[in-house]
Structure 1
Amino acid sequence: MTGQQSLILAVLAVAMAVFMWGRWRHDLVALAALLACILLGLVPGEGAFAGFGHPAVITVACVLILSRGLSTSGAVDWIARKAMPAHAGPGAVMIGLCVMAGCFSAFMNNVGALALMMPIALDAARRLEIAPGQMLMPLSFASILGGMTTLIGTPPNLIVATFRANEERPAFGMFDFAPVGLAVAAVGITFIIIAARFLVPQRNRASAPDFNIGAYLTEARVTEAASAVGMSLREVEVQLEKVDAQVVGLVRDKTRIPAPHPEHIVQAGDILVIEADSKVLGGALGKLGLKLEEDRSDEMPKVVTAGRTVLLEVAVRPGSPLAGRTAQHLRLRRRLGINLLAISRQGRRSLTRLRSTRLSPGDVLLLQGPSETLNEFVVHYECVPLAERALHFPGKRDGLVAGALMLAAIAATASGLLRVEVAFAMGALAYVALDIVPVRRVYEAIDWSVIVLLGALIPVAGAVQATGAAAAVAGLLFEDLGGGNAVFAVIVMLILTMWLTDFMNNAATAAVMAPVALGAAETLGVSPDPLLMAVAVGASCAFLTPIGHQNNTLILGPGGFRFGDYWRLGLPLQIIIIIVAVPMILTVWPL
């Protein structure tokens, strides 16, 4: 093995270890790997960032814009609600949810499809009185499976198509993934529907009624002699912080003010609505001269829901600006007039130290504030509302136009009339021109962490191939250990990719494994197509952990799941996929 091969494999090994560690964002890890390759002379400096202009990167960005348009036009939401039986039993609901999620995910972002379906699934779970996770895990897995059926269904498919094109072959077309993908998705979704009730843990999460806010919100009257008179609310909260309490509302002259500004001056006769653990509240109130209101627990719902003020549960999406930040840093109340009342994390609720709790993807937040403000918060901070929401359907025209433009882009690509990146760029531009996706929202529709990840890893993956490191690894795995058996190589490629994608971002996994697949094909003297298809299928099979795919992370809090809950359904599902995928790959894409 040459020095350059050793260096690129070392960089790749470190990057994969950090990916699995999960401490740093995957896009930053990919960028660090690219910079390391540049400094080591493995990637030429003049073309180091050419990956950001790569067709796969452009296509992913455009597909994300088109997905946002399909969502905001209301077309997908309308179809989902019309197609879902209103009074169906658990079996029919499960079939409807999984089939629709799989179909939507084939042509739009997987996370977007899941986000649209989650409120419907949670509403069905409440109606049928079953644990929400019984609906959410099958829904998540089905949407992941649906993505493997088309070129645009998931980024790994686009990456694999790119590496095929680099071999002086035509890139995989729009529906080249369908024969294998549809077979795997059909069998996988059928298994999910049958087995979910037995293999998905029946955990109940802390939902809005279960947060038991009434026990933690207390009304305290400011007496004439109270030391709090003349203080600003900020000064009052400094005292309350010692017992992890905060003021979440103010009643003055029978007027309720939710999320009052910290500079409000406290007056005698005011009633402060305080969130705190009742066991430690008494001492703090005594120091401030506040007196608990007598027998006012029946009036608490009026405080938190008066006027246009509502309670809303939202789930934090992977990649949300909220991730890693605290309510205190975000200044939710001062800037937006929103109170963070509770956090549910992996089925456990937290009502103390809320302002200093760092939020994580999958957390469920219970927010209080004006309905319009909360709606803006959901959009800006990329959250998913979990309660049944009013159908957003701006007009029949928007939905029809959005659907027609998406179909036109798909048809132009499938027919070979336009290259995939050109067709979807034209579709995205049309969405913006027709205000289906407003100009001010177009860049918000793009998951920039995925764009940076792809732009950085494509040159790194190219270096793995160019240095001969991919061929060296393939020779060790498949010629020395596998005896040169090509079928063995396909099976190992599929299993190894599956295992990696359970701990790494799926796009990163595809970018790392595609050069190895090409090296294996060269070493064994066979067509690269079945090995690349094994990578594509394996990279879309993250079913063992909540970190392997954004969908699994998103359902973590709403489903009340724990880290170890996923493998119970995910492991047998992966075994079934291997049994189905290998013969299908070898039949459709012969060696």
Structure 2
Amino acid sequence: MDDATTALVVLGVVVVLFVWNRLPVSVVAILAALGLWATGLVTTDEAVAGFGDPVVIFIATLFIVSEGIDSTGVTTWAGQQILARAGTAYVRLLVALGLLAAVLTSFITLNGAVAALLPLVVVVAQRIGRSPSQLLMPVVFAGSAGGLLMLMSSPVNVIVSEAAQHAGAGPFPFFSFTLLGIPLLAGTVAIGALLAPRVLPATTPEHTPPDLGRHAETIEAHYRLTDGFYRLRVRSRSSLIGSSARAVDLDGHPGIQVVGVQTPEGYPVTDVIHDDDVLVVTGPPGEVSRFVVDRGLAVSMTGSADATELLTREAGVAEVVVPPRSRLVGEEVYPGQKRDHELVILAVQRLGKDLGEGPAALAEGDAILLHGRWSALDQLSRDRDVLLVDSPGRVRRQAVPWGPRATRAVLVLAVVVAMLASGQVPPAIAGLVGATLMILARVVTVPQAYRAVSWETVVLVGALIPLSTAIRSSGAADRISDLIIDAVGEGRPRLLLIAIFLLTAVLGQVVSNTATVLVVVPIAVSAAASTGMSVKPLLMVVAVAGSAALLTPIATPGNLMVMAPGGYRFGDYWRLGLPVMVWWFLVAMAIVPLVWSL
């Protein structure tokens, strides 16, 4: 076999494996790179060059920038602001949510936008008496349209822009995608509002994401945090200094009980009380106030709190459960006790009943309510002695919009957008600057940045770049483009646009849209060279069709993420997706030739 045939065989095997869907897409991509190396179509350097490609670097850094925006509550804040003004009318809510999804996608990619809005959309649907299925899919499709608002909005845009530059036509300007994105978004939202109630099922999903927007009120009602403990710090002139920690002088203060005495670091005091030690006491508020004045103490924390005090930008609460075989089983704890990482126990319950204010030995299944800084609460996810009921990160994102680092995150995003819009800074460099600033500004931590990157996407793109290279260099792209040109005829550029759109759109329903674009781009470039057309209109059509992953749940992770919460079946997607795709096709065929001459 010649090189072109070999490349087409490898491509065919890759497509079959993608459709088979039994292997992870990243593994299929790596197998493709290994197969190309084994057949001699690419060298060792070419087989791994994709992982250092500027496109891959830019995509990876965008995930970190997106994490900074999402983790600080900016997306939740934006959602709450819009919904507060949209009212409860279905059409107004759908339009507002669709526009919000598009804007968020343009900054934090489709997957990030769907993850941020999914709980919000489900809760809104329940509150207005609608099935989530009639909101989720239209919102995701609007988010897909938002992926064509700016260069940074989607990996697909970055890939076609780099391809245009390599073809000698220069990259696409930052806002050039907006010319298509705005009409695509307007039509997608309108079609969703008109057809979604008619063509989508009104199903009730078995499992829905938790509504944590009112988490503080839920905690307050469940644990009844009123007239609780007081943590009293011993001041330097306190009369209690030097007295026994086991027999604190409570004369003249009836009703007060000392639950425990701790050092500033949280260790129990068993001998005498020292400066800065902390007494944990309970009793009537008025009597505690007099005790504080008489004994020279200072109130450092109270256990009685309303909902507004439980969750703030700096600190919050977390519920944990003691699992079997935990080292905490049998340990004595009490409300007000300070634990590791500056966490303080607010309440302890067993079988739904409070264990009281005094020390109690923990047992399997006990629930503990902890209070502390968000950074300390996040560390509970790695503590094998407790099980988190709700992720502190998820609680913070939904219940505490516009967190303490939100302003810094937005400023960093503005810097990245400004650099990209200027056209003077390469996308990979702008992304690296943004990711670095997010870490230096302490918006995200280094471990958080690593977790934020979708390594499957990075590996998928990096490993498929050699396949794209092989299709181009082996002559396979020329062979496919010749077949397309023969089918549509010479001198028919509009028919060629239609053929490229259909090829990309059909392949994109069963293969990742990113992988699809990497495969079709060299074919489009070859077709442009063979016909003398400008490469930019063909590549822009590839971008639009590649983003039109609307007919199946496996076409893009965003579609799959809403399948279970919306109660959708595989065959439900085309009912709304097909009319939307027809609109995308019409917009592309009408606008692309006007903006980019054929």
* Residues 106 and 152, structure 2, Cα contact 8 Å, conserved in 1: yes
User: Aligned pair 1:96/2:105, yes or no?
Assistant: no
Separation in 2 of the partners of 1:56 and 1:209?
Answer: 34
TM-score calculated relative to the size of structure 2: 0.71
Counterpart code for 1:13: G
Counterpart code for 2:442: D
Aligned to 2:114: 114
Deviation at 1:47, TM superposition (A): 3.0
Counterpart code for 2:26: D
Q: For residues 488-525 of structure 1, what are the alpha-carbon distances to aligned partners after superposition, in whole Å with 9 as ceiling and x for unaligned?
A: 11011112211111111111001001011011112222
* Residues 530 and 585, structure 1, Cα contact 8 Å, conserved in 2: yes
Separation in 2 of the partners of 1:49 and 1:501?
Answer: 25
Aligned to 1:294: none
Aligned to 2:202: 202
User: Aligned pair 1:511/2:518, yes or no?
Assistant: yes
* Residues 479 and 485, structure 1, Cα contact 8 Å, conserved in 2: no
Counterpart code for 1:5: A
User: Aligned pair 1:391/2:427, yes or no?
Assistant: no
Aligned to 1:362: none
Counterpart code for 1:549: T
Q: 1:543 to 1:309 in 2, by over 3 A?
A: farther
Counterpart code for 2:324: H
Q: Aligned with 2:566: secondary structure?
A: coil
Separation in 1 of the partners of 2:365 and 2:593?
Answer: 60
Aligned to 1:76: 75
User: Aligned pair 1:375/2:391, yes or no?
Assistant: yes
User: Aligned pair 1:572/2:571, yes or no?
Assistant: no
Q: 1:390 to 1:513 in 2, by over 3 A?
A: same
Deviation at 1:565, TM superposition (A): 0.9
Q: 1:582 to 1:257 in 2, by over 3 A?
A: closer
User: Aligned pair 1:105/2:105, yes or no?
Assistant: yes
* Residues 551 and 573, structure 2, Cα contact 8 Å, conserved in 1: yes
Deviation at 1:334, TM superposition (A): 11
Deviation at 1:70, TM superposition (A): 0.4
* Residues 140 and 559, structure 2, Cα contact 8 Å, conserved in 1: yes
1:456-535 alignment runs, 5 A limit: 456-535=463-542
Q: For residues 36-74 of structure 1, what are the alpha-carbon distances to aligned partners after superposition, in whole Å with 9 as ceiling and x for unaligned?
A: 001111011233211111111011011110000000122
1:98-497 alignment runs, 5 A limit: 98-207=98-207, 258=321, 260-261=323-324, 307-308=367-368, 335=384, 337-338=386-387, 370-371=388-389, 374-375=390-391, 389-395=398-404, 398-497=405-504
Q: 1:484 to 1:3 in 2, by over 3 A?
A: farther
Aligned to 1:367: none
Q: 1:532 to 1:257 in 2, by over 3 A?
A: closer
Q: 1:44 to 1:552 in 2, by over 3 A?
A: same
Aligned to 1:51: 50
TM-score calculated relative to the size of structure 1: 0.71
Separation in 1 of the partners of 2:69 and 2:62?
Answer: 10
Separation in 1 of the partners of 2:576 and 2:560?
Answer: 16
Aligned to 1:313: none
Q: 1:389 to 1:77 in 2, by over 3 A?
A: closer
Aligned to 1:296: none
* Residues 320 and 368, structure 2, Cα contact 8 Å, conserved in 1: no
Structure 1: runs of 5 or more not aligned: 211-255, 267-298, 311-331, 339-369
Deviation at 1:305, TM superposition (A): 10
Aligned match for 1:559, one of 562, 566, 575 = 566
Separation in 1 of the partners of 2:557 and 2:482?
Answer: 33
Q: 1:38 to 1:575 in 2, by over 3 A?
A: same
Aligned to 1:227: none
Deviation at 1:168, TM superposition (A): 2.0
Aligned to 1:30: 29
Counterpart code for 1:206: E
Deviation at 1:209, TM superposition (A): 12
Q: 1:308 to 1:200 in 2, by over 3 A?
A: farther
Deviation at 1:426, TM superposition (A): 0.5
Structure 2: runs of 5 or more not aligned: 211-318, 330-349, 355-363, 371-380
Q: 1:201 to 1:468 in 2, by over 3 A?
A: same
Deviation at 1:76, TM superposition (A): 2.3
Stretch of structure 1 that moved more, 16-25 or 166-175: 166-175
Q: Aligned with 2:29: secondary structure?
A: helix
* Residues 259 and 337, structure 1, Cα contact 8 Å, conserved in 2: yes
Separation in 1 of the partners of 2:132 and 2:352?
Answer: 25
Deviation at 1:431, TM superposition (A): 0.4
Q: 1:480 to 1:574 in 2, by over 3 A?
A: closer
Counterpart code for 1:127: R
Aligned to 1:61: 60
Q: Aligned with 1:487: secondary structure?
A: helix
Q: Please tell me the root mean square deviation across aligned C-alpha atoms, in Å.
A: 2.9
* Residues 471 and 522, structure 1, Cα contact 8 Å, conserved in 2: no
Q: 1:573 to 1:300 in 2, by over 3 A?
A: farther
Separation in 2 of the partners of 1:444 and 1:257?
Answer: 23
Q: Aligned with 1:492: secondary structure?
A: helix
Q: 1:178 to 1:335 in 2, by over 3 A?
A: same
Aligned to 1:274: none
Deviation at 1:479, TM superposition (A): 2.3
Deviation at 1:410, TM superposition (A): 1.2
Q: 1:126 to 1:522 in 2, by over 3 A?
A: same
Deviation at 1:181, TM superposition (A): 2.1
Q: Percent identity?
A: 31
Deviation at 1:130, TM superposition (A): 1.0
Separation in 2 of the partners of 1:302 and 1:566?
Answer: 46
Counterpart code for 1:536: A
Separation in 2 of the partners of 1:209 and 1:190?
Answer: 27
Separation in 2 of the partners of 1:20 and 1:530?
Answer: 29
Deviation at 1:433, TM superposition (A): 0.6
Separation in 2 of the partners of 1:451 and 1:20?
Answer: 20
Q: For residues 373-408 of structure 1, what are the alpha-carbon distances to aligned partners after superposition, in whole Å with 9 as ceiling and x for unaligned?
A: x316xx6xxxx78x994125432xx22221121111
